[in-house]
Amino acid sequence: QSALTQPASVSGSPGQSITISCTGASSDVGSYNYVSWYQHHPGKAPKLMISDVSNRPSGVSNRFSGSKSGNTASLTISGLQAEDEADYYCTSYTSSSTYVFGTGTKVTVL
């Protein structure tokens, strides 16, 4: 199972919006609404930001939103803040009943 494809890096100024893409295949992202997004500050536990494509867990800022079209899922961060600087990963359930993570995106706040 090949990793889902994410851009290596995305940057934006405070207050701007950025979008991170996560491209898979018909056997994973395209077939299931089981795509989730994680924020990871190195050395800490990853944090669930979006579940089931677009659901925001309690406690997660409403500046984070998720969507999906075909084989590509997306995470949008609105009103970018310095604290959003981190690595972000998508993951999807697959037709093999396994999971696959994305390659990861480093978000930089300029």
Partner 1 sequence: QMQLVESGGGLVEPGGSLRLSCAASGFTFRGYYMTWIRQGPGKGLEWVSYISRDSGMTTYYADSVKGRFTVSRDNAKNSLYLQVNTLRTEDTAVYFCARMGGWGAFDIWGHGTMVTVSS
Point out which residues bind partner 1 (CB under 8 A): 1, 3, 32-36, 38, 40, 44-48, 51-53, 55, 57, 87, 89, 91, 93, 96-104
Q: In the complex, what is the shortest distance from the CB of residue 51 to partner 1, in angstroms, rounded to a whole number?
A: 4
Q: Whose Cβ is closer to partner 1: residue 17's or residue 41's?
A: 41
Please tell me the total number of residues recorded for the chain in this structure. Answer: 110
Place of tokens 């995305």: 10
Q: In the complex, what is the shortest distance from the CB of residue 38 to partner 1, in angstroms, rounded to a whole number?
A: 7
Q: Whose Cβ is closer to partner 1: residue 99's or residue 110's?
A: 99
Rounded to whole angstroms, the Cα distance separating 46 from 44 reads 6
Q: How far is CA 33 from the centre of its chain?
A: 13
Contact 71, 24 (CB under 8 A): yes
Q: In the complex, what is the shortest distance from the CB of residue 15 to partner 1, in angstroms, rounded to a whole number?
A: 28
